[in-house]
């Protein structure tokens, strides 16, 4: 089962187009689209949405997301994962990482975790 991605509203919209170009079978939605949280939704509410609909959040928010995730877990909630884009990587490198992870990951591999791209998790190393 491939991961599903929800792109934070501050992620460049071309990420969706380019991810789907790399892998048309991916499910990639963005905040503000139909059936997603509206633009301006607070991060804690986005995490609840991701939990309910089983989407991994893709964001640039490295400052506040760890705090939001800790609060989310403290309230006995869970999330499939949060991936933080790396500004030192090119868009293409970030996209390659997201595409690879979506195809290679198993459900719950990233549950309740924040992963800073590039991902250093080695599949099968557990």
Q: Which domain holds residue 45?
A: 4-116
d(CA 109, CA 93): 21
- Which residue shows structure tokens 């499910």? 27
Within a domain: 50: yes
Within a domain: 86: yes
Mean pLDDT, residues 99-120 taken together = 90
pLDDT band, residue 119 (cuts 50/70/90): confident
Mean pLDDT, residues 21-42 taken together = 96
What's the pTM value of the predicted model, to 2 decimals? 0.92
Vertex 109 angle, CA 103 and 114, to 5°: 100
Instruction: Determine contact, residues 79/111, Cβ cutoff 8 Å.
Output: yes
pLDDT band, residue 122 (cuts 50/70/90): very low
Mean pLDDT, residues 10-19 taken together = 96
Within a domain: 18: yes
Report how far apart, in Å, the C-alpha atoms of 117 and of each of 26, 44, 82 are. 18, 22, 10
Domain count, the chain: 1
Within a domain: 121: no
Within a domain: 123: no
**Tens of pLDDT, residues 70-103:** 999 999 999 999 999 999 999 999 999 999 999 8
pLDDT band, residue 120 (cuts 50/70/90): low
pLDDT band, residue 20 (cuts 50/70/90): very high
CATH number where 55 lies: 3.40.50
Within a domain: 122: no
């Amino acid at each position: 089962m491939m991961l599903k991605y929800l792109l934070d509203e501050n992620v460049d919209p071309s990420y969706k187009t380019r991810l789907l170009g790399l892998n048309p079978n991916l499910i990639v939605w963005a905040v503000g689209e139909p059936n997603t949280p509206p633009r301006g939704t607070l991060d804690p509410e986005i995490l609840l949405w991701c939990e309910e609909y089983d989407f991994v959040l893709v964001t640039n928010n490295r400052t506040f997301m760890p705090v939001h995730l800790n609060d989310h877990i403290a309230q006995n909630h869970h999330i499939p994962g949060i991936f933080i884009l790396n500004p030192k990587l090119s868009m293409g490198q970030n996209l390659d990482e997201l595409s690879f992870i979506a195809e290679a990951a198993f459900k719950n591999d990233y549950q309740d975790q924040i992963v800073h791209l590039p991902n250093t998790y080695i599949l099968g190393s557990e």
